[in-house]
Amino acid sequence: MSQCHLYAQKLNNSAALCIEIGQYDRAIFSLAKALRLSRAQSDESMMIGSSCDQYSIDGCISYSEITCPVSGVSNHSLSNDLTGSGYIYQRPIRVPPECIIENHNMGRTLFLIITFNLAMAHHLGAMVATSRTSCESDCEDRTAPNPLQTNNKIKKALQLYEISHSWHSRITSEQTSYESGASQTFGVSSIRFRMILSNNMSHIYRLGSNNTKHRQCLEHLLSTVMVAVDYKTRTNTNNNATTQTLHNTDLRSSNLEGFLMNASKLFVEEHCAEAA
C-alpha cells in the first residue's frame, strides 16, 4: 500500500477525533489533505473495493459506532441542542486501527469515508456557528460569526454529501471492475450509509429552503428504513444465533429512532395538508 494511502487513513482518524471534540475547522483542514492524498492514487487502486468485510463501509461504520465519543455527549441530544429541527447523524466514520496496522488498501472506500466526514465537519461547523449567531445577536455581541461563512459551509456540506451519494451510487451499480467478478462490489454498497446520507442531506436541503429535495430525501430515508426493518425481521427467522446478533446490533447502531423521527415529518405534513 502506498504511503499516501496510509497517511490519508491516519489523517481521517485524527480528523474524526477533532469532529467529536468540536474542532471542526481543524478537522476540515486534515480531511481536505487526506482527500487530496486519497485522490492521488492510481486509477486502478481507486477501483479496488475492500476485500475484507471488516474494512468495508459497513465495517467502518460499525467500528465507529461502538467507539465511544471523546466528548461523552450522545449524538441525539447534541443534534437537538444544535438545531432544534431534527436529528443529525454526527458520528464520524473511522478506519479500524487493524486496517492501518495491516497496511490494508481500502481503495475507493477510503475516498468515500473521507468525503463523508468532510461533509459532516462542514455541516456541524455551520450548525454551531448558527447557534452562536443566534445567541450572540440576542446579547448584542459584535463578535458573532460571519453569516456568509456559515452559508458557505452549508453549501460546501451539501456539495460533499452529493458527491458522496453519487460516488456510492456509481460504485454500487457498476457492472465492470478491475476486481474479480465475485468481489466486484463487495464491501461498498451499504443500506446504513444510504440512510445516513439521506438523513443528513434532508437537513441541509431544509436549511436551504429546498422543500422538494428535502421531501425527496425523507421519502428515500423512509423507504430505506423500511427495507432495513424488513431485512431485520427476515433475519430474525434465521436459526443462526450469530447472524441474528450481528444484524440486530447493526440496526441498533444505525440510529433508527432518530431517522424515523425525521421521516415521520412526512406523515405530519400529509395530515396537515388533508386537514387544510
How confident is the prediction along the chain (276 residues), in pLDDT tens digits per residue? 588 889 999 999 999 999 999 999 999 999 999 999 887 764 545 555 555 667 888 899 989 988 876 655 444 444 444 555 688 999 999 999 999 998 888 888 899 999 999 999 999 999 988 776 555 555 555 555 577 888 899 999 999 999 999 988 887 776 444 444 444 444 445 888 999 999 999 999 998 889 999 999 999 998 888 887 776 666 666 545 444 444 444 555 457 888 888 888 776 655 454 444
* Nearest to 171, CA basis, from 196, 189, 157, 153: 189
Contact assessment for residue 168 and residue 204, using Cβ atoms and an 8 Å cutoff = no
Q: Residues near 222 by Cβ (< 8 Å), separated by ≥ 6?
A: 263, 266
Q: What is the pLDDT at residue 213?
A: 94
| Planar angle of CA 169, 150, 113, nearest 5 degrees | 30
CA distance 215 to 210: 9
Place of cell 500500500: 1
Measure the CA angle with vertex 162, ends 180 and 94; round to 5°: 65
H/E stretch holding 199: helix 191-207
**Which H or E run contains 212?**
helix 211-235
Q: What is the pLDDT of residue 256?
A: 81
Give the Cα separation of 224 and 227 in Å (integer).
Answer: 5
Residue 267: count of CB within 10 angstroms of its CB:
10
How many Cα atoms occupy the beta-carbon half-sphere of 150 within 13 Å? 16
**DSSP, residue by residue, 95-112:** PPHHHHHTT---THHHHH
Between CA 60 and CA 54 the distance in angstroms is 7
Cα–Cα distance, 265 to 263 (Å, whole number): 5
pLDDT of residue 21: 93
Residue 154: all three cell numbers together: 452549508
Distance (Å) of CA 171 to CA 30, 128, 181: 25, 33, 14
Dig out the grid coordinates for 106 from the structure: 481500502
What is the gyration radius of the CA atoms in the chain, in angstroms? Answer: 19
pLDDT, residue 140, reads 53
Task: Identify the burial level of 41 via C-beta atoms within 10 angstroms of its C-beta, where 0-12 means exposed, 13-18 middle and 19 or more buried.
Answer: buried
Residue 59 contacts residue 32 (beta carbons within 8 Å): no
Residue 15 has a pLDDT of 97
Task: Output the pLDDT for position 103.
Answer: 86
pLDDT on residue 236:
62
Question: What is the reported pLDDT for 47?
Answer: 52
